[in-house]
Structure 1
């Protein structure tokens, strides 16, 4: 029963992210020579940043965050984000699912 609460919390967080991210699209719209370089740099730096955060000692984890920030910057430089309109109900439901999911994921005592 104690494992059920964090699993439901994780599912609610993922459901909220799905509802919120369902209307965000990333498209490539840059000059032809920069698009490939920035896309490769973003994938490599995001991957390296995640591996640094997971596997490196705590003193080096700052470099992982720097690599992730650089990867996100390359994503925004090499593409554009299209935000489609979202209904108020979809926004409220996604925020409620993410907040309740986070609370269930981080709480130590079980609700069920």
Structure 2
């Protein structure tokens, strides 16, 4: 029971860190007059969906292909200009990144080594 509680606390910390770090990222979409200007936006959505689906449902069959699709999708998000990064304080970034790191460590190993 104790090990399960530690993993649950790790998952909660990981989600809290992602939530607070993700508050400063805004995804926007705009209407494009010409179809070729929306290609990076469409490609990013298709790449991210394909990468996540292949990693979740077919991890052995696809190998690294899912990670490649996910990376291409993320790069295309930034190329399409649909991501706005709000300014954040160093303290907020430090706390968010710290909770993500500690949560991941608790979730994967069940302990923290200082």
How far apart are 1:66 and its partner, in Å?
1.8
- Match of 1:6? 7
Q: Distance in 2 between matches of 1:59 and 1:27?
A: 34
Q: CA RMSD in A?
A: 2.4
Name the CA distance, whole Å, in 1 between partners of 2:54 and 2:83.
Answer: 27
| Comparing 66-75 and 24-33, the one that deviates more | 24-33
Name the residue aligned to 1:25. Answer: 26
Would the alpha carbon gap of residues 14 and 21 (structure 1) be closer, same or farther in structure 2, given more than 3 Å must change? same
Q: TM-score, normalised by structure 2?
A: 0.75
Gap runs ≥5 in structure 1 = none
**Partners of 1:35 and 1:3 in 2: CA distance:** 49
Q: Which runs of 4+ in 1 moved over 4 A?
A: none
- Consecutive unaligned residues of structure 2, counting only runs of 5 or more, are none
Render the CA deviation track for 1:57-94: whole Å, top value 9, x for unaligned.
Answer: 53522221221122122212222432222123212211
Number of matched pairs:
109
1:94-105 matches, within 5 Å, as 94-105=96-107
- Does 2:96 align with 1:64? no
